[in-house]
Amino acid sequence: MYNRSSIFASLTPVVKNILIINVLFLVASYALGSYFDFDKYLALHYPASKAFNSAQIITYLFMHANFSHLFFNMFAVYMFGRILEQRWGSKRFLIYYLATGVGAGLIQLLVIFVQIQFIQSQLSYDQIQQVLNEGFAALQQNMNFTDPIMAKLNLAINTATVGASGAVFGILLAFGMLFPDVELMLLFPPIPLKAKYFVIIYGVAEIFLGVANFSGDNVAHWAHLGGMLFGFFLIRKWKNLLQ
């Protein structure tokens, strides 16, 4: 059993600050949510949304939907991120974390762009402009268009992405590449599995869920894969770190 002091003593500098910042953001969103719309300004919106600003490609990494979303992401950062930081050093780990998080956001925006092009092909120019002009305000009032295609377009444009999951999947990939034969104990089912197989299974599952659902379950599967993709190319660039 680990005591509290040993848990905190094992934290590396960047991982510790990532945990603190993410917790503070969630607490602030609960405590100050009636005074400041955190999702509007800090979550990642599609560029055509009236709520979009370029800083969101970073700030969305520190926003989470709820406590369970935060807990599982930060648990993975704690479990695997500190090992990577010890191996790489704080500066390189921070670069990797942010690069995979930003990469995940860019892939998510690219997928949304493809979705939007398909949806817009079913609408007239005037309908599209109406969604662009009025859609965000409607959702702010918990309303949407009665036309189902216009409503779908509005959700695609104005639904925000939050969470560090893309960076977390980048961390999982890095751990699997650097420590492929380390055995991880799964929770469901409770069996040991080598890290390299764990990462492969997760990646395949995300591809399947992303293709099968194409955003229907409100989980950014393509962002997860984006974090892995950017992580893979970054690690290949840092070949000496795998030796």
The Cα–Cα gap between 160 and 39 comes to: 7
The Cα–Cα gap between 20 and 18 comes to: 6
**Residue 140 β-bridge partners:** none
Helix axes 90-120, 221-237, angle to 10 degrees: 140
Overall domain count for the chain? 1
What pLDDT score was predicted for residue 109? Answer: 94
**Surface-to-core class of residue 151, CB atoms within 10 Å of its CB (0-12 exposed, 13-18 middle, 19+ buried):** middle
Whether the link from the prior residue into 190 is cis, omega within 30° of 0, is: no
The reported pTM is 0.88
Question: Tens-of-pLDDT digits for all 243 residues of the chain?
Answer: 445 555 566 799 999 999 999 999 999 999 998 899 999 999 999 999 999 999 999 999 999 988 988 998 898 899 899 999 999 999 999 999 999 999 999 999 999 999 999 999 999 999 999 999 999 999 999 999 999 999 999 999 999 999 898 999 999 899 999 998 888 776 667 788 888 887 777 767 766 665 555 544 445 677 888 899 999 999 998 876 555
The CB density around residue 119, as the number of other CB atoms within 10 Å, is 19
What pLDDT score was predicted for residue 159? Answer: 92
What pLDDT score was predicted for residue 200? Answer: 78
Number of H helices, E strands in the chain: 12, 2
- Residue 98 belongs to domain with CATH number: 1.20.1540.10
What pLDDT score was predicted for residue 218? Answer: 47
Choose among 80, 70, 57: nearest CA to 171: 80
Domain enclosing residue 175, as ranges: 4-242
Residue type, 187: L
The answer to whether the CB of 96 falls within 8 A of the CB of 81 is no
What pLDDT score was predicted for residue 1? Answer: 46
What pLDDT score was predicted for residue 69? Answer: 86
